[in-house]
Structure 1
Amino acid sequence: MELRQLQYFVKVANKEHVTQAAEELHVAQSAVSRQIHQLEEEIGVSLFMQKGRNLQLTPVGQMFCKRIENILKDIDKAVLEVHEFLDPEKGEIRIGFPHSLGIHLIPSIVAEFRKKYPNVRFRFKQGMYPSLIRDVISAEVDLAFVSPFPEKNDQVAGEVVLTEELFAILPPNHPLANEESIRLEQLKDDKFVMFSSGYSLRPIVWQACLEAGFTPKIAFEGEETDAIRGLVAAGMGVSLLPEIALFQTNPLQPARVRISEPRITRTIGLIHRADDKLPQVAQSFRTFLLEYFGLDRNTPVGS
């Protein structure tokens, strides 16, 4: 069984088409077909079945593919670790984060880190809370910023690096727009612009409204902080956003008002796989981040 056979097999499994797989691999279609045939002969099973013009994994093929994908990831990681050992300042850091952190925080952090390590590469992956957790567990990323910090998950470890206050954002002509602070219950009759289901800010805002004695009336839902801010600024409703998501990116801006009661916050955690050692370059980045957020650089991994 050769490494090339396994790589071709996974590519065909993902594309479900030999021709498309061959194009991405930059090899002849016949070479891919031959390698798959030899692999099936060697292990004594059919890994694919024809479905129309496409190929589909057989049940045993699905089981085999999951194992092989993990093996190939381990091989890629081993090669990366060797390169980092030879020159840890030229490695690659794979980091995940929610959209709200991509506006200002992530660019600021990366720019600061690259002053010291200009040759380090970054691979970014944005996502919602569940997908970021999955990406860490499956080793798609080395580190991820998530909110809220996952207190009960044995598969990831990390630390809270930031606790943010949430502010009310209101249309500029709202009666409360010029107030220094308000109570959340004062917005009970307003319509809310909320994040869609699956975004971590939605349950935080929803629970805060319930604690303030009302169920929010939803006028619109969005998936990006820019969209939420824009809809509020256009008078479509009110919302709550963390301060880090309130950096101005366009001329149309809502009013920002502090909420005095209840005080609403969210935690932002930096997580990694609990049972795995970080690559050297990623560990250097983690140490930098702990110092950046004013945490003890000797904080043990998994604390």
Structure 2
Amino acid sequence: MDTQSLQAFIAVADTQSFSLAGEQLHLTQPAVSKRIATLEHQSGAKLFDRINRRVSLTEAGRLLLPRARQILQLVEDSRRQLHNLSGEVTGSLALATSHHVGLHRLPPVLKAFTQRYPSVNLEMQFLYSEQAYQAVVSGEAELAVVTLFPQTGPMIESTPVWTDQLRFVASPDHPLAREQRLPLSALVGHPAVLPGPNTFTRDLILGSFSAQSLHIDIALSTYYLETLKMMAGIGLGWSVLPESLIDEELVVLPVEHPPIIRRLGYLLHRERTLSNAGRAMIGELEAVKAAQITLTD
């Protein structure tokens, strides 16, 4: 089985479309079909059903899919190991990051990296932290710089670099902004604008209320913290945001609650070989971490 046919097979399986797979691989649809036909001939099994223009995996296709991913990952790991022998920091680096981290934490890291290693082709993906985590699991990204989960799977190594303190905020004319002291329960009677569902940051916030058996009214949600800031600033509800986003458009609410802390940092796969470029990026992130420790000493 050649790797090009396996790449086409995975692309069709992921997109459920020969034409979309062709766009992803920069191939024509007939070229994709030919690669799938070659793979079906080599494996002696039909891999896709095509019914009413709908493409779905057969039982043989479902069996092959995880193995195809493993084969391509082994090939990529071998390529990285051989390239690493040269010691050169070149090639491509697939890096996933969230929008907030990419906008507010990564720029100086990326600037230093690109100046030091101009031969590296940086392939950046802006994803939700949860999507970036999955990209590292699947091998689509070599590294991810995101909001860290409290627990990760056994295959993922998680290293904190920055700490975010989250604060309860609202617009200056919000009814709660006039209070001197606020128990957490006081927020329940007012609508909230919060991060989107299934995000670690939202889970942190809801966990604080659940611990006191409180349920809040979530009026609006979005995966972009900058949009949350705008919505809170125009009075659509109170919110919880990192201190780095708070300015004169918002006031910090005097909520009697311990600080909500989230950690930001990088993820890598324990069983995959890092490229020299990946190691160099980690070096830049660790330098930032070390500089922060020095400042606090």
TM range (shorter): 0.7 to 0.9
> Which one of 249, 268, 275 corresponds to residue 272 of structure 1?
268
Structure 1 Cα separation of the partners of residues 55 and 149 of structure 2: 41
Deviations 1:20-54 (A, max 9, x none): 6556544582x554544343333322223331234
| TM-score, normalised by the number of residues in structure 1 | 0.79
Larger mean CA deviation between 13-22 and 67-76 belongs to 13-22
**Unaligned runs of at least 5 residues, structure 2:** none
Residues 56-75 of structure 1 mapped to structure 2, 5 A cutoff: 56-75=56-75
Deviations 1:77-111 (A, max 9, x none): 43345445446332322222333212211223212
The answer for the alignment partner of 1:225 in structure 2 is 225
Structure 1 Cα separation of the partners of residues 236 and 84 of structure 2: 51
- Which contiguous aligned blocks of 4+ residues in structure 1 show a shift greater than 6 angstroms? 178-182
Structure 2 Cα separation of the partners of residues 50 and 109 of structure 1: 47
The answer for the alignment partner of 1:162 in structure 2 is 162
| TM-score, normalised by the number of residues in structure 2 | 0.81
Q: What amino acid maps onto 1:190 in structure 2?
A: H
Please provide the CA RMSD for this pair.
3.3
Residues 29-178 of structure 1 mapped to structure 2, 5 A cutoff: 29=30, 32-83=32-83, 85-86=85-86, 88-151=88-151, 153-174=153-174, 177=177
Deviations 1:204-243 (A, max 9, x none): 1122234567432322222211221111111111111112
The answer for the alignment partner of 1:253 in structure 2 is 249
Change (3 A) 1:181 1:96: farther
**Unaligned runs of at least 5 residues, structure 1:** 298-303
Q: What amino acid maps onto 2:114 in structure 1?
A: R
Change (3 A) 1:145 1:212: farther
Structure 1 vs Structure 2: percent identity of aligned residues? 24
Change (3 A) 1:11 1:240: closer
Contact 1:128 1:200 in 2 (8 A): no
Give 3-state SS (helix, strand or coil) of 2:192's partner. Answer: strand
Structure 1 Cα separation of the partners of residues 132 and 167 of structure 2: 25
User: Which is helix-richer, 1 or 2?
Assistant: 2
Count matched residues. Answer: 292
Change (3 A) 1:35 1:229: closer
1:262 counterpart = 2:258: yes
